[in-house]
Structure 1
Amino acid sequence: MADTMSDVFGALAHPTRRQILQDLKAGERAAGEIAAAFRATGPTISRHLAVLRQAGLVTERREGNRILYSLVGERLALSVGDFLSAVCPEQIVLRQTRGSGRRDAAERDA
């Protein structure tokens, strides 16, 4: 797990990769569309996409001669959540408290 965690945080270390993830939040995009949003060269963006793919943060599929990328949001959430839970256990308590408050309010409103 440590290696995969390192891959995820290594992938998140570069601002271009973080921006790619944010852009993919809106849905699947072709490699060319992703590259067009940056000043970097196509091969540079391709390397960034390879890092994200290796970390399991994006998936790719081929459609004809295009490569389409999608965000794997649950992988990101689980990796970061596991890390935060390990180094900041108070976050677990805060989430449980917030969740309980929302359930209580929903029950009152029902």
Structure 2
Amino acid sequence: MSLNGTLKALSDPIRRNILTMLKGKKMIAGDIAEELGISPASLSYHLNLLKKNDLVIESKEKNYVYYELNTTLFDELIMWLKQF
């Protein structure tokens, strides 16, 4: 886990909104962009940062790409934060 990258990814409100939307469910990019009211290009940028920092996992099912939280990383982050 790259703590600097993770914290940078979490610093943006749009990325935090994406993570909140993915809590407990998988979603396709089009649905995420529509709900947030942002362009597909903007969403792609944010999703790439979240994937790069292992906050989001991508999986393909038939013709769709689904995004979901990587809860393993959140467990590690919580353990790190608990030391304070």
TM-score (norm 2): 0.88
- Which structure: larger Rg? 1
Inter-partner Cα distance in structure 1 for 2:3 and 2:65: 26
Inter-partner Cα distance in structure 2 for 1:80 and 1:11: 16
1:19-98 aligned at under 5 Å gives the runs: 19-85=17-83, 88=84
Inter-partner Cα distance in structure 2 for 1:5 and 1:67: 27
Inter-partner Cα distance in structure 1 for 2:82 and 2:43: 29
C-alpha contact (below 8 Å) 1:8/1:76 kept by paired residues: no
Richer in helix (by share): 1
Structure 2: gaps spanning 5 or more residues: none
What per-residue deviation string (whole Å, max 9, x for no partner) do you get for residues 15-58 of structure 1?
A: 01001111101311111111111122111011100000000011
SS at match of 2:74: helix
C-alpha contact (below 8 Å) 1:11/1:51 kept by paired residues: yes
Q: How many residues are treated as equivalent by the alignment?
A: 84
SS at match of 2:36: coil
Inter-partner Cα distance in structure 2 for 1:53 and 1:20: 12
Inter-partner Cα distance in structure 2 for 1:64 and 1:18: 28
How many Å apart are 1:84 and its aligned residue? 4.3
Q: Equivalent pairs: percent with the same residue?
A: 30
SS at match of 1:82: helix
TM-score (norm 1): 0.69
What is the match of residue 8 of structure 2? Answer: 10
Where has structure 1 moved over 4 Å in runs of 4 or more? none
Structure 1: gaps spanning 5 or more residues: 89-110
Inter-partner Cα distance in structure 2 for 1:34 and 1:66: 13
